Structure 1
Amino acid sequence: MKIAIREPAPFFSNGDEDSFFHWLKSIDAVKDFVGSPRGLEVTLEDPVEDLSLRELVGLLTRYGLDMKCLRGLRTQQNEAWFADEQMYWHKSVFKD
């Protein structure tokens, strides 16, 4: 499974950029990523485990990135918490 994440622009320092990529690499579900015209094409394990999905939500939230790329990660197994309208990310992920 692949998602496209728009990279933060600009990074505020070299350490900021290092932190972003270190966090992305540390997420268990992230198998690979490569830059593309659409942003970072991130290859994920399928299915994405809950902890990894929570980390992706945290990373994108922290860097103020478009979270709509996470929509396709909704499953019957995670929708009770991931698609819960009370969660702070719901509008950012699921509303246009």
Structure 2
Amino acid sequence: MMKIVIKEPVPFFSDGDEDCFFHWLKSIDAVKDFVGGPRGLEVTLTDPVDDPSLRELIGLLTRYGLDMKWLRNLRTEQNEGWFASEKMYWHESVFKD
């Protein structure tokens, strides 16, 4: 298991928007637990994170405009071909400083 911290989107646009965010997060197979903390949401993930879960995390963070730099730590030899490809819309958000 690995732990990461992500900032929650603030403000949510509505109660439904907040519900959707947390429902989506809970639905990702690699997400085993999360709890709010002073630095943000502390999320426990499986290690390694499977490809479908990584794609869902990319989608969630993109949709809510959250920092994606920590995703670079999920790069593996197995997912490098698609995940680290410069052709992907998230490449700059994840891999460029």
TM-score band, normalised by the shorter chain? over 0.9
SS in structure 2 at match of 1:22: helix
Q: Over aligned residues, Cα RMSD in angstroms? A: 0.7
Runs of 4+ in structure 1 displaced over 6 angstroms? Answer: none
How big is the shift at 1:87?
A: 0.3
* AA of the residue aligned to 1:60: L
Where structure 1 has 5 or more consecutive residues not aligned to the other structure, the ranges are: none
Match of 1:79 in 2: 80
Aligned partners of 2:38 and 2:78: how far apart in 1?
32
Match of 2:17 in 1: 16
1:50-89 alignment, distance < 5 Å? 50-89=51-90
> How many residues are treated as equivalent by the alignment?
96
Aligned partners of 2:5 and 2:53: how far apart in 1?
16
TM (norm. structure 2) is 0.96
CA deviations over 1:64-89 (Å, ceiling 9, x no partner): 11101211111111011100011000
Where structure 2 has 5 or more consecutive residues not aligned to the other structure, the ranges are: none
8 Å CA contact retained: 1:2, 1:42: yes
TM (norm. structure 1) is 0.97
Match of 1:95 in 2: 96
How big is the shift at 1:37?
A: 2.1
8 Å CA contact retained: 1:3, 1:70: no
